[in-house]
Structure 1
Amino acid sequence: MVTLVLLVVVFVVLGVAALQSGEALFHVATVATLITVFIAIPTTVETLTRGRSLGKWACGLRAVRDDAGPVSFQHAFVRALVGFVEIYAFTGTPAFFSALLSAKGKRLGDHAAGTYVVRERVRLRLAPAALMPPHLQAWAQNADLATLPTGLALAIRQYLGRAATLDSRTRHDLGSRLAADVSAYVAPPPPPGTHPQDLLAAVMAARRERDMARLEREAAMRRRLVGER
Structure 2
Amino acid sequence: MSGLVTGDAVVLGLQPARLPSRALALAIDLVVVWAAYLMVSIGLAVATASLDEAAVMAVSIASFLLVLVGAPIAVETLSHGRSLGKLACGLRVVRDDGGPIRFRHALVRGAMGVVEVLFSFGVIACIASLVSARGRRIGDVFAGTLVVRERVPAARGPMVPPPPPPWLVGRFSGLDLSGVPDTLWLAIRQYLTRMRQLDPAVSWSMAQRLAGDLAARTGTPAPDGVPPAAYLAAVVNERQARDARRAFAAATSGTASSSAPAAAFGPAPVAEAVMPVGRPVTGPDSTTAHHAPAPHPPQAEHPADLADVRPPASPSGFAPPA
Fold match, TM over 0.5? yes
Q: What percent identity do the matched residue pairs reach?
A: 36
> Are positions 1:78 and 2:108 aligned together?
yes
Paired AA for residue 48 in structure 1: L
Structure (1 or 2) with the greater helix fraction: 1
Change over 3 Å in CA distance of 1:120–1:212 after alignment to 2: farther
Cα distance in 1, alignment partners of residues 241 and 93 from structure 2: 37
Query: C-alpha deviations, 1:151-208, integer Å up to 9, x for none?
Result: 89759xxxxxxxxxxxxxxxxxxxxxxxxx99x959xxxxxxxxxxxxxxxx99x949
Paired AA for residue 170 in structure 2: A
- Provide the aligned length of Structure 1 versus Structure 2: 164
1:103 is paired with a residue of what secondary structure?
coil
Match of 1:42 in 2: 72
Match of 1:143 among 161, 167, 170: 170
Paired AA for residue 171 in structure 2: D
For structure 1, the residue ranges without an aligned partner over 5 or more in a row are 131-138, 156-180, 187-202, 218-229
Query: C-alpha deviations, 1:83-132, integer Å up to 9, x for none?
Result: 111111101111011111112211111111111111111121234789xx
Q: Tell me how far 1:30 sits from its aligned partner.
A: 1.4
Cα distance in 1, alignment partners of residues 80 and 193 from structure 2: 33
2:33 is paired with a residue of what secondary structure?
helix
Contact kept, 8 Å, 1:15 with 1:29, in 2: the verdict is no
Cα distance in 2, alignment partners of residues 123 and 83 from structure 1: 30
Match of 1:29 in 2: 59
Q: Tell me how far 1:57 sits from its aligned partner.
A: 0.6
Contact kept, 8 Å, 1:19 with 1:25, in 2: the verdict is no
Q: Tell me how far 1:69 sits from its aligned partner.
A: 1.4
Change over 3 Å in CA distance of 1:81–1:129 after alignment to 2: closer
> Are positions 1:64 and 2:106 aligned together?
no
Query: C-alpha deviations, 1:1-23, integer Å up to 9, x for none?
Result: 11121110111122222222121
Cα distance in 1, alignment partners of residues 41 and 67 from structure 2: 9
Alignment of 1:63-142 (within 5 A): 63-127=93-157
Match of 2:83 in 1: 53
Change over 3 Å in CA distance of 1:26–1:124 after alignment to 2: same
Change over 3 Å in CA distance of 1:71–1:185 after alignment to 2: closer
Contact kept, 8 Å, 2:75 with 2:82, in 1: the verdict is yes
> Are positions 1:210 and 2:240 aligned together?
yes
1:117 is paired with a residue of what secondary structure?
strand
Alpha carbon RMSD of aligned pairs, Å? Answer: 3.9
1:63 is paired with a residue of what secondary structure?
strand
Q: Tell me how far 1:36 sits from its aligned partner.
A: 1.2
Change over 3 Å in CA distance of 1:128–1:29 after alignment to 2: closer
Contact kept, 8 Å, 1:145 with 1:185, in 2: the verdict is no
Q: Tell me the TM-score normalised to structure 1 length.
A: 0.59
Contact kept, 8 Å, 1:50 with 1:72, in 2: the verdict is yes
Structure number with greater Rg is: 2
Paired AA for residue 137 in structure 2: R
2:93 is paired with a residue of what secondary structure?
strand
2:48 is paired with a residue of what secondary structure?
helix
Cα distance in 1, alignment partners of residues 170 and 79 from structure 2: 52
For structure 2, the residue ranges without an aligned partner over 5 or more in a row are 1-30, 161-165, 174-187, 198-225, 248-322
Alignment of 1:177-196 (within 5 A): 185=230
Change over 3 Å in CA distance of 1:25–1:208 after alignment to 2: farther
Paired AA for residue 24 in structure 1: A
